[in-house]
């Protein structure tokens, strides 16, 4: 059995939504010092909908694939749905990730949450802090 699914390989070789949104409405950057992966997500919001999303990722193939898939999963969706994106949903959409690479999907989830929080902060939109948990590390995803 191959280590990576065809979907992971496709999103690694042909990542979607790569780049920067210069006038982004929200930007989230997260990193994991353990593995060296860094993800930055840019959001453009129109009427509460993610009208555009781009990413920059420094990291392994799983990190790039997770970023690419996560952006695909939230593009065109209401912010409320973007906030509900989980690392499990990213992993499932990628047809799985090896256990030692699950932290990449966690980073994708955290980067999106950070970008939405940044948008809320910039717009002065009230939110429940528990909607933006800060794990501080990825200990839990290393099993």
Catalytically active residues are: 35, 104
Whether residue 113 contacts residue 81, with contact meaning beta carbons closer than 8 Å, is answered with: no
C-alpha triplet 101, 102, 107: angle, nearest 5°: 105
Q: Residue 11 corresponds to which tokens in the numbers above?
A: 């999103």
Cα separation, 93 vs 96, whole angstroms = 7
């Amino acid at each position: 059995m191959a280590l990576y699914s065809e979907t992971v390989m496709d999103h690694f070789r042909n990542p979607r939504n790569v780049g920067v949104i210069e006038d982004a409405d929200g930007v989230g950057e997260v990193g994991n010092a353990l593995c060296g992966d860094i993800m930055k997500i840019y959001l453009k919001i129109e009427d509460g909908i993610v009208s555009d999303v781009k990413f920059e990722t420094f990291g392994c193939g799983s990190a790039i694939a997770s970023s690419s898939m996560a952006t695909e999963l939230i593009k065109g969706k209401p912010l409320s749905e973007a906030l509900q994106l989980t690392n499990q949903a990213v992993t499932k959409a990628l047809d799985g990730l090896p256990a030692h690479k699950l932290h990449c999907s966690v980073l994708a989830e955290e980067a999106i949450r950070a970008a939405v929080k940044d948008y809320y902060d910039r717009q002065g939109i009230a939110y429940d802090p528990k909607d933006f948990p800060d794990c501080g590390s990825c200990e839990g995803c290393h099993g």
